Amino acid sequence: MRIKVAINGYGTIGKRVADAVNLQDDMEVVGVTKTKPDFEAKIALKKYPLYAALPERAETFEKAGLKIDGTIEDLLHKADIVVDCSPGKVGAENKALYEKAGVKAIFQGGEKANVAETSFNALANYNKAVGKNFVRVVSCNTTGLARIIAVLKDIYSLKKVRATMIRRVVDPKEDKKGLVNGIMPDPVKLPSHHAEDVKTVIPDVSIVTTAFKVPTTLMHLHSIAIEMDGKVETEDVVSIFEEEPRIMLFSGEDGFTSTAKIIEFAREYRMRYDLFENAVWRESINFHDGELYITQAIHQEAIVVPENIDAIRAMFDLADKQESMKKTNRALGII
């Protein structure tokens, strides 16, 4: 059985999820939507059937010479599931359409948790999404934190996680907004929302987070300190991370001195320089005075992509956690 997947919103996340679905043998893309006939719509049309996300704008595509197969409502009739990749908060507005069409839906991290029956991260809570109709894949920062906490929690007892997020201000394509010269506490009032968001997928963790935006577009950076219950061997943690394909270790000795160098590596390593893995600096992993320290970088445009694929498998109960993650990893070249 191949699951028929629609992508509503072919932007930064949508185009990547579409291409990732296209690489799996148990699902296929039946169509993608765009709101306007811009260059992204033209590229989309070379790969996938194109539909108008907003029915009232359908004729603008025809006028621009782009052949569409209908509107989002037509697309939903052909789909078993829709992956909503519209801008934050718009997904919640789209939900009524999905309910009316009787299709399952995945929402992204820009939506509030209550848009779905469960929030999702494959390593943290795959089984919660099994058989569900509405699932929300948590945001890029939350995915990065959840993976680290989930793999450590399988082995150790964690007393308290403290994480500071140094966030890229916008994605590379954004030319309408940005922070040119400054460091922005985001939010000013502490703690940041990320801790509560992590708890949507790992409820029994004690965690506090702070976040700051800085003028870069490439990646987020996380400085994490975890108060551990007992002694931990740094080398054991290195081995645990080495064994988890969704975490990749980078070393200063190899020249990885910044996120710029990690992205330069990714440009050689992957199509569209997508780094689906947490990029953890090996030397940063250090147990000192009861606390485990970790510094990692997160490629915000890519990290949630494998999670969307696993969420689809869980919702149709196509595979268990290990099997699904293995399949996704193989198809996306996560080794």
Judge contact between 251 and 217, C-beta under 8 A: no
Q: Check residue 300 for interaction with ligand NAD (CB under 6 A).
A: yes
The residues in 27-46 that bind ligand NAD, with binding defined as CB under 6 A, are 33, 35
* Residue number with CB closer to ligand NAD (111 or 277): 111
Q: Give the active site residue among 140, 158, 232, 325.
A: 140
Other beta carbons less than 10 A from residue 252's beta carbon: 13
Q: Would you call 232 helix, strand, or coil by DSSP?
A: coil
* Residue number with CB closer to ligand NAD (35 or 329): 35
140 is known as an active-site residue: yes
* Residue number with CB closer to ligand NAD (104 or 282): 104
Residue 252 CA to residue 257 CA, distance in Å, equals 6
The residues in 193-252 that bind ligand NAD, with binding defined as CB under 6 A, are none
Q: Check residue 8 for interaction with ligand NAD (CB under 6 A).
A: yes
The alpha-helical segments, DSSP class H, found in the chain are 12-22, 39-47, 58-63, 72-78, 90-101, 122-125, 140-153, 194-199, 234-243, 259-269, 305-315, 321-332
Residue 326 CA to residue 335 CA, distance in Å, equals 9
State the nearest-atom distance from the C-beta of 78 to ligand NAD, in Å: 16
In order of 189, 272, 311, the CA distances from 256 in angstroms are: 33, 20, 32
Residue from 139, 278, 308, 324 touching ligand NAD (CB under 6 A): that is 139
State the nearest-atom distance from the C-beta of 125 to ligand NAD, in Å: 17
Residue from 31, 49, 109, 306 touching ligand NAD (CB under 6 A): that is 109
Q: What are the residues whose beta carbons fall under 8 Å from the beta carbon of 285, sequence distance 6 or more?
A: 234, 237, 238, 241, 292, 293, 294
Residue 92 CA to residue 94 CA, distance in Å, equals 5
Find the radius of gyration of the CA atoms of the chain: 20
Q: Check residue 146 for interaction with ligand NAD (CB under 6 A).
A: no
State the nearest-atom distance from the C-beta of 134 to ligand NAD, in Å: 14
- Site string (86-105) toward ligand NAD, x via CB under 6 A: xxx-x---x-----------
Residues that bind ligand NAD (CB under 6 A): 8-14, 33, 35, 53, 85-88, 90, 94, 108-111, 139-140, 171, 300-301, 304
List, by residue number, the catalytic residues. Answer: 140
